[in-house]
Amino acid sequence: MTADVTTLVNTAHHAFELTTRDGLVITVRPAVEADEAALSAFFDQVSDEDRRFRFFAAGEHVSHDQLDPLLHADHFRSESFVGFAGDELIASGLLACDGKLDTAEVAVSVRADYRGRGAGWAMLDLLAQEAERRGVRRVISIESRDNHAAIELEREKGFTPEAFEGDPTLVVLSKTYR
């Protein structure tokens, strides 16, 4: 099921709602610099394994440098979204396009206690819609081969796995629009 984007008007400046497959309503807006402390606390509530999968590093906490791309999107080639259930930050999604807007990489993280409720699906749908809206030809996600949950979710969303050249521990999942 595709996330229900209730209002999607100029996402660079407005909040909107996504409804997950189990009825959870997530209020989503672009991340801003003032979100650094909230994002840091959020990633402390993501499982250790999911944090390792997201940043390809095994740190106990996410550093300022790791958060920087999430806080400074240009709203053209990159977009970073934060998702809230009530006033709790439960999800983060990043879209990063190449210079030609040909390929975009997506990354989604969901707080451990909200996994399995459709938040990852909804955020992935949003990022894919944003990529398509920008005219991107291909969306990719780079995953650890051990991240079975993300690989399964992305395959269910129409992404196709392919080898990651030079690193057999990773896999690229891609979806082509045109």
| Confidence check: pLDDT of 177 > 90 | no
- Please report which confidence band the pLDDT of residue 58 belongs to, taking 50, 70 and 90 as the band edges: low
pLDDT value at position 49?
81
Cα–Cα dist 118/178, whole Å: 27
pLDDT value at position 13?
60
Q: Mean pLDDT across the stretch 89-111?
A: 95
Q: Is 133 exposed, middle or buried (0-12, 13-18, 19+ CB in 10 A)?
A: exposed
Average pLDDT in the chain: 88
Residue 144: CB partners within 8 Å, gap ≥ 6? 52, 53, 56, 169, 170, 171
Return the CATH superfamily for domain 4-176. Answer: Gcn5-related N-acetyltransferase (GNAT) (3.40.630.30)
Domain locations in the chain as residue ranges: 4-176
The pLDDT > 70 percentage for the chain reads: 92
Q: Mean pLDDT across the stretch 46-70?
A: 82
**Phi and psi, residue 25, nearest 5°:** -100, 125
